Amino acid sequence: MDFIAYINEKINPLQSIIVLSGAIFISSFFVISKSKAIKRFLIIVTSISLILAFYLNIYSFISMGNFSNFLTLFETAQMIEVGIILFSALNLLFFISIYKVDSNHFIKILILFLFSTVCAVFVVVARNFLLIFTSLTIFILTIFQLVTALNLKMNKARPYILGYFLRPTLTVILFFFGFSLFYGAADFKDFNQVLQSEYISNPLIVLALIIFGIAIYLYFFLFPFQSPYLKLIKRGEFSSNAIIWFLYFPVGIFMFLKLNDLYSFFIEKNSLYMSIFFIVITFICIFAGSIGAFKTNSVRRIISFLFLFFIGIFILNISMFSTGIISKSLVDWFNIGNVLLVLFSFIPIYSIFGVVEKNTGSDSIENIRGFGRSNIYIGINLIIIFLSWSGFAYHIDPFIKYFNGANFLKMGTANIILLLAVVIAFIFLMINIFRIVVQFYRKPIGGVVEKIIFPKFLYIYVTFFTLVILVIAILGLLEVLNIDVGIINFKITQVYFLR
Amino acid sequence: MSFGSKLILIIIHCASLFGLAISGLLSLILISKRKKLIFLFLSFLFVGILSFVYYSGILFFIAGIFVMFFFISLYLFVFQIELFGDKERLDEKLNNNIKGIIVHIILPFLFCAAIGYLIYNYTSDFLQKVSGSGNIFIIGLSDIAGKFFTNYSLILIIIIAVLFVSFLWFIIISLEEK
Amino acid sequence: MNFQFIIYFNFLLFLMGAFGIFYSKNIISAFVSYQFIIISATINFLSFSQFLYQRSLWGGIFIIFGIASIYFLMFCIICYIYLKLDPLDKEMLYREFRLFKITRSDWWGEDNI
């Protein structure tokens, strides 16, 4: 036991990475195998390693507390982010196993997938600029390799994969330039040193932060640069779309959260021009996402647009912080809450619609007409999951508190415009949800709807997500109504554990 | 350092910066892809000379290995298209309409010029106050190797791992899946 | 050599790369303009190491790891184009490819492809 504790201490905080590397090592012995039994064995090994990594991630934090050294930093925020990545990877294993298990290269794809998860964890725990940059570049490389490997048979998607991945390539090149400017300002090696020094207002650092901001904006394919993302999602294979939504985007969000402290230093000064800038970007992203989702009849494009809508919510959080409506700790909580909301809703939605598209042959919204009548259980689950998006209404709460505290007329134009943006965004989101739910219960064109046969595992899978959403919704509702349940001493609306 | 050697360094410095700028501009503007790549390679060589001027010549050799792979692959791609492609389809039609010229040439040029002017205004005060050290420090391979294996061994492990994993990826994309 | 002049020259190279990104009509031009941003960052690191910091290897080490990772990424992208794309798609990339293109099909027309 002493030996295990000694090893545990030595490899802290990379326990999850070591476990995943062990899974890669085991898988590498079976690289050229095409046997189904070995594929099933490796799926089990991979899922056990992901679950073990998830457990070790939390256990190491609870037993050994915060950790930081020259290269890495492991605090509460990193523990949560690594947990989110590992949870996301476990779900992605489901997608890859369902859609790619018959491929001759399945085991190689599994190794690529595990390695991309390892790189994603490195991006999160990295503290040193060099480790951040190298791990981000290699993460983008492994995602590119994974997406190309998953789309081997999709001839239509190939040029669009290139169009897509040239954008994150530009992101890392801009990051390279930005880090060179950081070096010019001061010989610092991580963001904390910059934040705590007097050099933070140095012109070179400000320029570097602007370049980082542009790089991250390009990484997320926000409007008006969304073209390659939409085109790839429309033509890509099911599991590669899942990789992009549930691994590529979360890592970008966590990269953005690393820079958040530095941006907050400037945003806290409540400059009017900065607020206006963020409000304009918020309007563009949120409205373009919701209008785009409403205009299209393709389910894939609806999900793509709505995903960009939720990415725009991160900018909304910054806008609310810039006008002073919410504090820094609440911004962190809103951001993490948004990531969890996105993952817990989009994963089951896409898993169901992926099977629907596979059965019907196209992703037209007409194919889900009458879906709720033929597949009652899945339909109800989907409606609950869609309604979880109404949790976005919690963004209005800080405005209500502001109303109670201040005179309406003195609220300031920026805050009123922002409140209007939040309300209109919420209405658009509800319209999109309503449109899809109505489609579930409309009479089908042909008169009779064939019941779509879902794999039995999918029923359990979707039920799990629905239950989690229901539990959180009920707890949140009780807190909002100020009803003390008394079972657990945990309040969702007052989680400030990140600071 | 003698005045003569300082003068030589300044001349090489100016010449390589000038050469870099000219070859860069040419590679941007020229239409022929082969000439673009030739001038790009020239600008890469000028960067190499600059690295010697900055006493970091060893970096050019180490980094150059990776850059060479990229250049070779890019050349192979261009030559494959030019040798085996359909000549009629490949001839680039010049964008003669006014809208194309405004949107793709004039607007970006004005935008970049405006950004450059803003950067100049914003950083001029700070950069004027910066005083550099006159000491020369030549980077040696042993210094770099020492740093690699003491502080940055983790990053080295990641890069080596990605080379192994990429080998699998090369196998995937080069084998035809039936 | 004047330190200020070198920094402004690097920014000029960066802006040349940015201009090239908007101006590029094919994938080769896109890669060429990427190189300028990388070159300007490299010279930034080298000049800052030489002028500002004594015995600091950080710039050199960042260049080695950075160039290795970025160029390996671009090498893999070019390999994929070379090995996996149809000749027609390759010629399309070679002839017309814009990094930033705002098309109508982002908003309508792509429902049935």
Q: Does B14 touch chain A (CB under 8 A)?
A: no
**Residue A128: predicted pLDDT:** 92
The predicted-structure confidence for C49-58, as pLDDT tens digits, reads as follows 888 887 778 8
In whole angstroms, give the CA distance from residue A239 to residue A70.
Answer: 37
Query: Looking at the DSSP assignment, which residues form a beta bridge with residue A72?
Result: A126
**Residue A172: predicted pLDDT:** 96
Q: What is the mean pLDDT of residues A16-25?
A: 94
**Residue A167: predicted pLDDT:** 94
- Decide if A148 and B173 are in contact by the 8 Å CB cutoff: yes
ipTM greater than 0.90? yes
B contact chains, 3+ CB pairs < 8 A: A, C
Residue C107 within any structural domain of the chain: no
Q: What is the mean pLDDT of residues A224-242?
A: 92
The predicted-structure confidence for A414-438, as pLDDT tens digits, reads as follows 788 888 888 888 899 999 999 999 9
In whole angstroms, give the CA distance from residue A415 to residue A400.
Answer: 12
In whole angstroms, give the CA distance from residue B173 to residue A144.
Answer: 12
Q: How does the average pLDDT of chain A come out, rounded?
A: 88
The predicted-structure confidence for C56-112, as pLDDT tens digits, reads as follows 788 889 999 999 999 999 999 999 998 888 888 888 888 888 888 888 887 777 777
**Residue B95: predicted pLDDT:** 57
Instruction: Please name the residues in contact with C111: beta carbons below 8 A apart, sequence gap of 6 or more.
Output: A296, A297, A298, A301, A364
Domain count for chain A, please give it.
1
In whole angstroms, give the CA distance from residue A212 to residue A204.
Answer: 12
> Among all residues of chain B, which has the CA nearest to that of C36?
B24
**Residue A238: predicted pLDDT:** 92
- Decide if A173 and C37 are in contact by the 8 Å CB cutoff: yes
Q: Is a pLDDT exceeding 60 seen at residue A233? A: yes
Q: Is a pLDDT exceeding 70 seen at residue A107? A: yes
Q: Is a pLDDT exceeding 80 seen at residue A59? A: yes
- Decide if B122 and A108 are in contact by the 8 Å CB cutoff: no
**Residue C71: predicted pLDDT:** 95
Percent of chain A with pLDDT over 90: 51
The answer to whether the CB of A137 falls within 8 A of the CB of C70 is: yes
Which of chain C's residues have a Cβ under 8 Å away from the Cβ of B137? 49-50, 54-55
Residue C111 within any structural domain of the chain: no
In whole angstroms, give the CA distance from residue A138 to residue A240.
Answer: 18
In whole angstroms, give the CA distance from residue C62 to residue B151.
Answer: 13
Which of chain B's residues have a Cβ under 8 Å away from the Cβ of C28? 33, 36-37, 74, 78
Which helix (H) or strand (E) element contains residue A56? helix A36-64
> Among all residues of chain B, which has the CA nearest to that of A72?
B154
Classify the C-alpha dihedral B26-B28-B29-B33 as positive or negative: positive
Domain assignment of residue C79, given as a range: 7-101
In the block, which residue shows the tokens 């000064």?
A269
Mutate to test the interface with B, among A115, A119, A121, A124 (most CBs of B within 10 A): A115
> Among all residues of chain A, which has the CA nearest to that of C84?
A158
In whole angstroms, give the CA distance from residue A250 to residue A85.
Answer: 7
Mutate to test the interface with A, among C14, C111, C112, C113 (most CBs of A within 10 A): C111
Residue C1 within any structural domain of the chain: no
**Residue B134: predicted pLDDT:** 65
Q: Does B75 touch chain C (CB under 8 A)?
A: no
**Residue A214: predicted pLDDT:** 95
Q: What is the mean pLDDT of residues A478-491?
A: 65
> Among all residues of chain C, which has the CA nearest to that of A164?
C99
> Among all residues of chain C, which has the CA nearest to that of A366?
C111
The predicted-structure confidence for A190-208, as pLDDT tens digits, reads as follows 898 888 888 788 889 999 9
The answer to whether the CB of A394 falls within 8 A of the CB of A330 is: no
Residue A313 within any structural domain of the chain: yes
Domain count for chain C, please give it.
1
For A67, which DSSP code? E
**Residue A142: predicted pLDDT:** 96
Which residues of A26-164 form beta strands (DSSP E)?
Answer: 67-68, 73-74
**Residue A451: predicted pLDDT:** 76
Q: What is the mean pLDDT of residues A80-98?
A: 94
Q: Does B164 touch chain C (CB under 8 A)?
A: no
Q: Among B119, B154, B161, whose Cβ lies nearest the Cβ of A131?
A: B154
The answer to whether the CB of A18 falls within 8 A of the CB of A57 is: no
Which of chain C's residues have a Cβ under 8 Å away from the Cβ of A227? 101-103, 106
Q: Does A189 touch chain B (CB under 8 A)?
A: no
Q: Does B157 touch chain C (CB under 8 A)?
A: no
Classify the C-alpha dihedral B148-B153-B155-B159 as positive or negative: positive
Cis peptide before A224 (omega within 30 of 0): yes
Percent of chain A with pLDDT over 70: 94
For B97, which DSSP code? S
> Among all residues of chain C, which has the CA nearest to that of A163?
C99
**Residue A407: predicted pLDDT:** 55
In whole angstroms, give the CA distance from residue C37 to residue A214.
Answer: 14
For A68, which DSSP code? E
Q: How far is CA A116 from CA A110, A172, A207, in A?
A: 10, 16, 31
Query: pLDDT: is A324 or A229 the higher one?
Result: A229
The predicted-structure confidence for A281-334, as pLDDT tens digits, reads as follows 999 999 999 999 998 889 999 999 999 999 999 999 988 888 888 888 888 888
Q: Among B66, B84, B147, whose Cβ lies nearest the Cβ of C67?
A: B66
Q: Does B66 touch chain C (CB under 8 A)?
A: yes
Domain assignment of residue A401, given as a range: 271-499
Q: Does A166 touch chain B (CB under 8 A)?
A: no
In whole angstroms, give the CA distance from residue A339 to residue A78.
Answer: 14
In whole angstroms, give the CA distance from residue C65 to residue C75.
Answer: 15
**Residue A486: predicted pLDDT:** 58
Q: How many CA atoms lie within 13 A of B48 on its CB side?
A: 14
Which of chain B's residues have a Cβ under 8 Å away from the Cβ of C7? 123, 127
Which of chain B's residues have a Cβ under 8 Å away from the Cβ of C55? 137
- Decide if C3 and B132 are in contact by the 8 Å CB cutoff: yes
Q: Does A104 touch chain B (CB under 8 A)?
A: yes
In the block, which residue shows the tokens 């991979």?
A46
A353: nearest Cα among A234, A238, A229, A245: A238
> Among all residues of chain C, which has the CA nearest to that of B142?
C57
Q: Is a pLDDT exceeding 80 seen at residue A78? A: yes
For chain B, list residues with pLDDT below 70: 1, 87-96, 131-135, 176-178
In the block, which residue shows the tokens 């002028």?
C51
